[in-house]
Structure 1
């Protein structure tokens, strides 16, 4: 077991908050003890970030030179991918295949944002008078990034890379359960040569550290990924400051199987979309709508395939469904299922902890499929964030659209059919920020991502991702030698 310091204004130290243990959810062992931040650490980080962001050496750095730094960070992450993966698996329980993929995704994010930065142009606007008119973008200054526990390093990179590319300083607040990888990322960024003060990594309680970052008068933007309840609190605080925010929040995504779908392909995609990451994904396709004409046979095959999934520790290469991130979260998932059953849901498979040697000491929950409810049931409306799928039949497209959209969330959707024109028309009617057709849970840093309704505000990723961390300014240069004709 090791002790990890936190990173404040370019310096490593214990932090003013209480010590916290990182628990391996596969067996309950302590991975490490790490410090946490307090209010004083936030104050110091903000002040150091303000000075570092205003330093001409950073503020006026040529884009291609800042891009070179981002490339170095990306290369360093890739070089350490195996170490990052092992640490994240111990910290979160995820499979090594997934955590290595997340590390490589983070490396790719830094490289993409470097390329976008080098090719990002401001605009010489069309003149409407005797003036040269320009639209330029400038750094906000100091921004806050608050990231979730389900994909730490990838989520960190999706905020940190564009924010640094834009020329800001960043206060990164990782989730309480999974801070170790974010601290390792800080060492990588420091080693790549980022000037001190431009990054602080401040683990700690969201109600203390996160709230202090959000409410600080010198923080000019917050980028948050997490739960909708917390997102609302951040939005309310941001409104008091008139501060821009981006919020990537919860989901209860529909997956739709039409009568003409490729059955094997659809089943494989649905299994991946809901049970990979042990269901701990905001875009998990947890509401399954299958055309009534194939419902019984399709669900029977899906149940059989689900029962064949291999549940085990993330360190086992054969594992497909790893433990949940924490024992408390495992109990929360179980509570959702228990309440659904009490309300009339039928368990087709799963519905409890797996039985067998090696499971007793970990935060395991068996992949679960429920049916026998309607879309207004709590299990169809509330985000479970675990390996729980609800299967419902549908009869026609119009009623399907109405039911699929009957949710406070609007993050993602999957459609399985051989009829592309019909799939495209359906995709345009679904209220979701991302729609996958004949695939699921595929991402690209080049493609914007975000939600509708209570799934969030704003977008991340894409060429315009850097602009989300900048202020736009218009400049008029008078070209007419004559004075203004007024006085």
Structure 2
């Protein structure tokens, strides 16, 4: 059985405790590899390596750093199929999705920041009449920590480490212990291209041990974390006394507002995708669907028919629309919400049952599920389920739709379907969310800021926002008055 290792100071290392964690293939429900159960000592080793490497890495020219980033992107592109197969096996997602989205996006993240770092300019302000000029230097922070989730493993891992490295920092990164394989393959890529030692360090393990050691380490100046809201709260409490910079991209319970004047066919097709892509395990999925009364019954019928056609199956099968959920524990959590629907006076319109896939009988498969609810205040509409489960209910007016959209603790993203541009602008301005899509979904531009409000987190990633996060601004004022 394969044992993946930590990547510290350019070398592969076994955990100091010599303890290992099982890594499951969710499509089969079987252990297929092991990863380090790293402890505080392993994180300390990684931090010291990063600290030692920082002076040289931060002093490299923008062009040299850019070239290194392009080398990583090139290697990811050359290993597209290998990485996609590993991602599908590790996560349970359809191979077709990993080939089309996850791995190409990881490559794009490195390419984008390879170019963005050469365009990241400082500001200058001349004080007329005072013969002074103020300008801003942006300096890398030093050693930073990046902790990524399991739903889009390499995609979101690279989303964090690429801007951190581009800005001149050295990184101690922890991928999810549930999906470690592609981050390990990335460390192999770094080894193959002779990436500078100590600049990127990847430590595997549990959040309670490895992740906690990263968050509380006094030499780590910033934490970029994507994951659950409760974990984000803990990180914020831990980091606050040390005044660390924090970027926390947390949970979502995203509203999908559908008005009668929308492009119906486009809306229906996109809503099926936005509800169940990646088994609903995307923080941006539209998990609360609100439909204007006059088309509610039509939409309900058409939506249920379309969802029933989705195939749940072997992730390696190109015909599979949904693969396996990421773990047995997560499957049981999602099933718990479905089983509680009756207690909330909700009606399961379709799905809700486990699926047995031929040859993968022990896999963690679940039917895509639509639940009709009567109240926006029910548990199904207020808590993040993070699986192939959506709720739906009607609304009477634009004002009620807005009330439903905002009456939740989260504020990550939202979707509006309407042909009325005035309504689109009014709602976009009033919805409490970091991202609003109008007549589209998951249409991302890497230059734009990404993040949420309320319990969906603090800070922004993406574009120059990420480079700003991973640098510290310093104002310099020079007088050029002749003496």
1:90: which partner in 2? 89
2: CA distance, partners of 1:282 / 1:228: 12
1: CA distance, partners of 2:109 / 2:185: 17
SS in structure 2 of the partner of residue 314 of structure 1: coil
- Using the TM superposition, give the Cα deviation of residue 356 of structure 1 relative to its aligned residue in structure 2, in angstroms: 6.1
1:117: which partner in 2? 117
2: CA distance, partners of 1:36 / 1:182: 15
Deviates more, 1:124-133 or 1:320-329: 124-133
- Using the TM superposition, give the Cα deviation of residue 37 of structure 1 relative to its aligned residue in structure 2, in angstroms: 1.7
- Using the TM superposition, give the Cα deviation of residue 372 of structure 1 relative to its aligned residue in structure 2, in angstroms: 3.3
Deviations 1:222-260 (A, max 9, x none): 000000000011111121111110010000000011011
1:5: which partner in 2? 5
2:211: which partner in 1? 210
- Contact 2:2-2:32 within 8 A present in 1 as well: yes
1:50: which partner in 2? 51
Deviates more, 1:147-156 or 1:469-478: 469-478
- In the superposition, the TM-score normalised over structure 1's length comes to 0.96
- Contact 2:161-2:171 within 8 A present in 1 as well: yes
2: CA distance, partners of 1:449 / 1:248: 9
- Using the TM superposition, give the Cα deviation of residue 481 of structure 1 relative to its aligned residue in structure 2, in angstroms: 5.2
- In the superposition, the TM-score normalised over structure 2's length comes to 0.97
SS in structure 1 of the partner of residue 301 of structure 2: helix
In the TM superposition, 1:335-374 aligns within 5 A as 335-354=336-355, 357-358=358-359, 360-374=361-375
Compared with structure 1, are the counterparts of its residues 277 and 477 closer, same or farther at alpha carbon in structure 2 (3 Å cutoff)? same
1:180: which partner in 2? 181
- Using the TM superposition, give the Cα deviation of residue 34 of structure 1 relative to its aligned residue in structure 2, in angstroms: 2.1
- Using the TM superposition, give the Cα deviation of residue 358 of structure 1 relative to its aligned residue in structure 2, in angstroms: 4.6
1:458: which partner in 2? 459
2:282: which partner in 1? 281
1:434: which partner in 2? 435
In the TM superposition, 1:255-334 aligns within 5 A as 255-334=256-335
2: CA distance, partners of 1:317 / 1:16: 41
1:395: which partner in 2? 396
- Contact 1:401-1:430 within 8 A present in 2 as well: yes
1:106: which partner in 2? 106
- Using the TM superposition, give the Cα deviation of residue 355 of structure 1 relative to its aligned residue in structure 2, in angstroms: 5.2
Deviates more, 1:337-346 or 1:327-336: 337-346
SS in structure 2 of the partner of residue 118 of structure 1: coil
Deviations 1:319-362 (A, max 9, x none): 00111000110010000111122222111001121356456311
- Contact 1:413-1:434 within 8 A present in 2 as well: yes
What value does the CA root-mean-square deviation take over the aligned residues? 1.4
2: CA distance, partners of 1:192 / 1:461: 26
In the TM superposition, 1:179-258 aligns within 5 A as 179-258=180-259
1: CA distance, partners of 2:460 / 2:224: 10
1:485: which partner in 2? none
Compared with structure 1, are the counterparts of its residues 359 and 295 closer, same or farther at alpha carbon in structure 2 (3 Å cutoff)? farther
2: CA distance, partners of 1:424 / 1:81: 40
- Contact 2:35-2:205 within 8 A present in 1 as well: no
- Contact 2:145-2:171 within 8 A present in 1 as well: yes
1:79: which partner in 2? 78
- Using the TM superposition, give the Cα deviation of residue 194 of structure 1 relative to its aligned residue in structure 2, in angstroms: 2.2
Deviates more, 1:14-23 or 1:150-159: 14-23
Q: Which segments of 5 or more consecutive residues in structure 2 lack a partner in the other structure?
A: none
**Does 2:69 match 1:70?**
yes
1:152: which partner in 2? 153
2: CA distance, partners of 1:394 / 1:86: 43
SS in structure 2 of the partner of residue 126 of structure 1: strand
Deviations 1:438-472 (A, max 9, x none): 11122222221100111011111113321210010
SS in structure 2 of the partner of residue 125 of structure 1: strand
Deviations 1:281-310 (A, max 9, x none): 111101000001111111111001100001
- Contact 1:169-1:197 within 8 A present in 2 as well: yes
Compared with structure 1, are the counterparts of its residues 426 and 132 closer, same or farther at alpha carbon in structure 2 (3 Å cutoff)? closer
Alignment coverage as a number of residue pairs: 480
Deviates more, 1:14-23 or 1:379-388: 14-23
2: CA distance, partners of 1:190 / 1:130: 51
Deviations 1:101-153 (A, max 9, x none): 21110111111111111112112222363433221100100000000000010
2: CA distance, partners of 1:355 / 1:38: 38
- Using the TM superposition, give the Cα deviation of residue 409 of structure 1 relative to its aligned residue in structure 2, in angstroms: 0.3
- Contact 1:69-1:193 within 8 A present in 2 as well: no
SS in structure 1 of the partner of residue 106 of structure 2: helix
- Contact 2:277-2:322 within 8 A present in 1 as well: yes
2:448: which partner in 1? 447
2: CA distance, partners of 1:67 / 1:207: 35
- Contact 1:36-1:202 within 8 A present in 2 as well: no
SS in structure 2 of the partner of residue 449 of structure 1: coil
Deviations 1:160-217 (A, max 9, x none): 1100011000011111101111111112133333210111111111011111111111
SS in structure 1 of the partner of residue 294 of structure 2: helix
2: CA distance, partners of 1:359 / 1:430: 43
Q: Give the 4+ runs in structure 1 shifted more than 6 A.
A: none
Q: Which segments of 5 or more consecutive residues in structure 1 lack a partner in the other structure?
A: 483-487
